[in-house]
Amino acid sequence: MLDINLFREKRGGNPEIIRESQRRRFKNVDLVDQVIQLDEDWRQRKFELDHLRKDLNSIHKRVAQLRIAGGDATELINSTEENRRLAAEKEAEVGEALELLNTKLEEIGNIVHDSVPVSDDEVNNAVIRSWGEKRLQEPTLKNHVELVKLAEIAEFARGAEVAGSRGFYLKHVGMLLDRALTHFAVDFLVERGYEGLRPLPFMTKDMMAKCAQLQEFDEELYSVGEDKYLIATSEQPLCAYHAGEWIHPSQLPMRYVGLSDCFRKEAGSHGRDTLGLFRTHVFTKVEQFCITSPEGNDSWDRHEEMIKNSEDFYKALNLPYRVVGIVSGALNGAAANKYDLEGWFPASQTYRELVSCSNCTDYQSRKLEIRYGEQGKSDDQLQTKQYVHLLNSTLTAITRTICCIVENYQREDGVEIPKALQNYMGGKTFLPFKSKQAPEVKQKN
């Protein structure tokens, strides 16, 4: 969430910056004024509560003085009981007012960075750069849906019978390819100084609420019982790894490579690349996650490093791609800026998203109370609370990368294996087609 002081002009804040950010997001600007009003209401109630507590303390002192002097303190003690009752009522009001304030505050997204293209249509995403020689249209090119069947990488009919819509089994070579990509990706980041973390596939409801966007609960997240949710990305548990901690400047930057299975309902994705392995309910993902200082350009420099890591990874696989800057209207609430890396899919002659790379600045760390600095210093010494910056980036969503590999490495009789993966595949260099081409059967969304 945003720093409430940004809404307070008397404390040096500038609400107009937030209003402009909301305009860029094509979101409700009136939310800013609603937060300002709710904040004023909360502070007024807090002032009244503090006044009641001050009176209560004063009465306690007078009662003590009367008792020492041998006087009658009955009347004062009675007034104490009334004061306690009023303070308890006011304390409940303060709690309700704060809850209303925070609920409304969470509806406002991070401040959009000035470099983000302003538009509400992803057609206007800014192409920043592209790499690789694109394979052009050929009469015999097959799409990834056909190819994973012909090479017997995955089995969909049995998968759907067992797991329902978009269910699948990775067959022998598919499992080996999945393992090869996973090991290569983890090694790739470890060699660049990243520390590995393998989180559990679920989080408590309270902790997930601090890491996920509100709309994700309906569109993405699977619930487990009443108090847990399956993770949609390892970004979520990695965000929470240092919750409630202070991080000293000497510890930064922190670089983590997260490996996890991810679970997504994909409720809003009907008709969007839902065939084959491209958009499934369960997949393995290798994630970059970085924690930086809020000082200067530290997090922005790290943002560039992370997208470069992803580019170098796809260069190593020799997969053509382009990097695009996502328009303001398509940013999720936590992101101040986001790059996508899109791989080239020759059968459809189009680019498709493989990587998302976001700088969330202190938007997530503020809610998770991940403080920057040295614990024990007073607020006067620190001048203001500071929070670390959190960044996340896909390195590879395994099955989606497999889709890109099979389209770009296809031959008439099978699929070549990228050189970077061959050692991880026991020296295997080629996956021959085994199944006969059959009429396409559409999977249920």
Binding positions: 233, 264-266, 287, 353-356, 392
Length of the chain: 445
- How many whole angstroms separate alpha carbon 351 and alpha carbon 320? 9
Q: Residue 136 and residue 248: Cα distance in Å, rounded?
A: 51
218, 345, 422 from 155: Cα distances, Å: 29, 22, 23
Annotated binding-site residue numbers for ATP: 264-266, 353-356
Burial 367-384 (b: 16+ CB within 10 A, else e): bbebbbbeeeeeeeeeee
Name the phi and psi angles at 261, rounded to 5: -80, 145
Q: Distance (Å, rounded) from C-alpha 62 to C-alpha 82?
A: 16
Element housing 224 (H / E)? strand 223-224
Closest CA to 410 of 336, 366, 345: 345
For 415, residues 6+ apart whose C-beta sits below 8 A from its C-beta are: 147, 151, 405, 406, 409, 430, 431
The C-alpha atoms of residue 40 and residue 345 are separated, in whole angstroms, by: 53
Looking at residue 270, its amino acid is H
Phi and psi, residue 436, nearest 5° = -75, 145
Q: Strand locations in 304-440, DSSP E?
A: 321-325, 337-345, 350-359, 371-372, 389-397, 410-411, 414-416, 430-432
Contact between residue 283 and residue 400 where contact means Cβ atoms under 8 Å apart: yes
